């Protein structure tokens, strides 16, 4: 029930934001939840594009990559070069036209790795299944074959001079002894990054923390995590990975990706910034713009209640909440995250749950000078109208004000 935008309740400057953080977190950030190293690897153009029924054309990929680059994203996985000529060209173009570290995906297959290297990306991300179910029924390979091809692939990438990321696919459903053996072997072969993928989204934050902590003890490579949202835990697991020592998380804008998707760019970045006090270096004020761009290009609508980028993320209809927010937005918003920080706007929405404070604010904002009795009467009409599931727009509010006979504010009053 959108009716109006409510701006400038609480000016947000970086200094104020930092001050707030200190107030909110005094004594609550203990050493186990500290995150010191946090980089963002965006896979919107690779895993995000694997969303069923989604495909980005060349221009879409370029446009999305340009915004991610301008925002200061650390790595962009531009695609899977062996997929097709069009994909190869798009990846090559992004590698050439951006300043960011670019990455291309490759199976542990020679032609995939050569295609990725030829595309000119800075980093090649190679992966092999390590869980028994995938080895048996997807790759049709033994553990030894998977291990050998992983090592050979890493060696080839390192020899070619590209940065190398290795993923034991389905790590969270892999026998732990074998997982550690593959990680040790690929690390020795020269992998710069070991990515731990929760391919089928079965990790929980606690279990994922334990796994990342264990992996950290078996490699000198930097650790990256790739989490899926089958149980709605992708972003929580990504953060848990950071807490356990990972340096980087793979995310996608709006959380798009295979099945239920990946950890969401906006959720992971804002959690790091606002709840862990990490300066990611990313320009968060463009998050809403980025989300709208990916929504349009992917054709995957963002749910209204999606954290940070959903239409309702900074909207208030309930009377109690709106009344509090009118005085101080920290009353019913996180406080450590404001709409300004993500390039969004706060909205006071009028409907069945609206209270008098909100109505008064909207009327005054629109140039009226209502009495208390008039506010009560307009509020009654707003509620009745809203209860019929009708949208209470600004023009409805003005109609109610006219019907009730609310005076417009005079020059004298204004002075
Ligand atoms: C969890 C992930 O997101 S993994 C990434 C998944 N992304 C994609 O698949 C998107 C792009 N994929 C593609 O364009 C195609 O699947 C290609 C080009 C990679 C391969 O296409 P095709 O040769 O037609 O094979 P197809 O896709 O039907 O089957 C996959 C093949 O890859 C093999 N495979 C799967 N994972 C790996 C791996 N990590 N390393 C080596 N081979 C692998 C399978 O065993 C199967 O081999 P087979 O053809 O000998 O049976
Ligand atoms: C390629 C790998 C990292 C992947 O996308 C997954 O396991 O989900």
pLDDT at residue 409 in the model: 80
CATH topology of domain 36-298: TIM Barrel (3.20.20)
Distance of alpha carbon 250 from alpha carbon 60, whole angstroms:
20
pLDDT at residue 389 in the model: 83
pLDDT at residue 208 in the model: 98
Low pLDDT (below 70) residues in the chain: 1-32, 410-415
Instruction: Note every long-range contact of 57-64, with CB atoms under 8 Å and residues 24 or more positions apart, other chains counting.
Output: 58/86, 58/89, 58/90, 58/93, 60/297, 61/90, 61/93, 61/94, 62/90, 62/93, 62/94, 62/97, 63/293, 63/297, 64/253, 64/290, 64/293, 64/294, 64/297
pLDDT at residue 415 in the model: 53
C-beta separation of 267 from 232 below 8 A: no
What residues pair up with 69 in beta bridges, in sequence order?
A: none
Spacing, Cα 198 to ligand 2 middle (Å): 8
Pocket around ligand 1: residues whose beta carbon is below 6 Å from it? 47, 50, 80, 82-83, 107-109, 127-129, 138-140, 169, 199, 258
Nearest ligand to the C-alpha atom of residue 260: 2
Of all protein residues, the one whose alpha carbon is nearest to atom 51 of ligand 1 is 139
Nearest ligand to the C-alpha atom of residue 79: 1
Domain residue extents for the chain: 36-298, 314-415
pLDDT at residue 19 in the model: 46
Of all protein residues, the one whose alpha carbon is nearest to atom 7 of ligand 2 is 199
Substitution site in 91, 113, 134, 139 for ligand 1 pocket (most atoms within 8 Å of beta carbon) = 139
Nearest ligand to the C-alpha atom of residue 166: 2
Nearest ligand to the C-alpha atom of residue 110: 1
Ligand 2 neighbour 169 (Cβ under 6 A)? yes
pLDDT at residue 363 in the model: 97
Q: How many CB atoms lie within 10 A of CB 180?
A: 17
Residue 220, CA distances (Å) to 33, 157, 194 in order: 22, 18, 9
- Strand runs (DSSP E) across 39-81, as ranges? 39-42, 75-79
Q: Which residues does 272 contact at the CB level (< 8 Å), separation at least 6?
A: 35, 38, 239, 242, 278, 280
Ligand 1 atom with minimal separation from the 87 CA: 14
Ligand 2 neighbour 61 (Cβ under 6 A)? no
Substitution site in 88, 107, 173 for ligand 1 pocket (most atoms within 8 Å of beta carbon) = 107
Of all protein residues, the one whose alpha carbon is nearest to atom 39 of ligand 1 is 128
The encoded tokens of residue 409 equal 């504010």
């Amino acid at each position: 029930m959108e009716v109006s935008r409510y701006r400038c309740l609480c000016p947000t400057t970086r200094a104020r934001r930092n001050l707030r953080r200190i107030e909110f977190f005094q004594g609550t950030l203990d050493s186990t939840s500290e995150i010191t190293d946090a980089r963002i690897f965006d896979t919107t153009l690779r895993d995000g594009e694997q969303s069923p029924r989604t495909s980005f054309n060349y221009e879409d990929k370029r446009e999305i990559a340009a915004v991610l680059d301008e925002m200061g994203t650390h790595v962009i996985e531009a695609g899977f070069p062996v997929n097709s000529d069009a994909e190869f060209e798009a990846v090559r173009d992004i590698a050439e036209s951006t300043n960011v570290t670019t990455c291309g995906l490759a199976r542990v297959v020679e032609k995939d790795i050569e295609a990725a290297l030829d595309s000119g990306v800075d980093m090649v991300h190679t992966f092999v299944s390590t869980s028994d179910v995938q080895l048996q029924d997807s790759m049709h390979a033994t553990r030894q074959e998977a291990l050998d091809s992983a090592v050979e692939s890493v060696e080839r990438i390192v020899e070619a001079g590209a940065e190398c990321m290795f993923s034991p696919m389905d790590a969270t459903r892999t026998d732990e002894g074998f997982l550690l053996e593959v990680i040790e072997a690929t690390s020795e072969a020269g992998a710069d990054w070991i990515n731990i993928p929760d391919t089928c989204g079965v990790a929980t934050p606690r279990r994922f923390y334990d796994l990342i902590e264990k992996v950290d003890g078996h490699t000198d490579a930097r650790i990256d995590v790739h989490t899926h949202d089958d149980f709605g835990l992708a972003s929580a697991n990504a953060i848990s990975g950071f807490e356990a020592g990972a340096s980087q998380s793979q995310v996608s804008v709006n959380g798009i990706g295979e099945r239920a998707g990946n950890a969401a760019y906006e959720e992971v970045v804002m959690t790091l910034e606002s709840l862990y006090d990490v300066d990611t270096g990313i320009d968060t004020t463009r998050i809403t713009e980025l989300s709208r761009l990916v929504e349009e290009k992917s054709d995957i609508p963002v749910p209204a209640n999606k954290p940070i980028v959903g239409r309702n993320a900074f909207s208030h209809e309930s009377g109690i909440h709106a009344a509090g927010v009118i005085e101080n937005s920290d009353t019913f918003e996180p406080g450590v995250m404001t709409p300004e920080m993500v390039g969004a706007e706060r909205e006071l929405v009028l409907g069945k749950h609206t209270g008098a404070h909100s109505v008064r604010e909207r009327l005054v904002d629109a140039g009226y000078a209502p009495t208390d009795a008039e506010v009560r009467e307009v509020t009654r009409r707003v509620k009745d109208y809203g209860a019929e599931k009708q949208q209470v727009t600004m023009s409805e509010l003005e109609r109610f004000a006219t019907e009730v006979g609310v005076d417009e504010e005079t020059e004298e009053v204004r002075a």
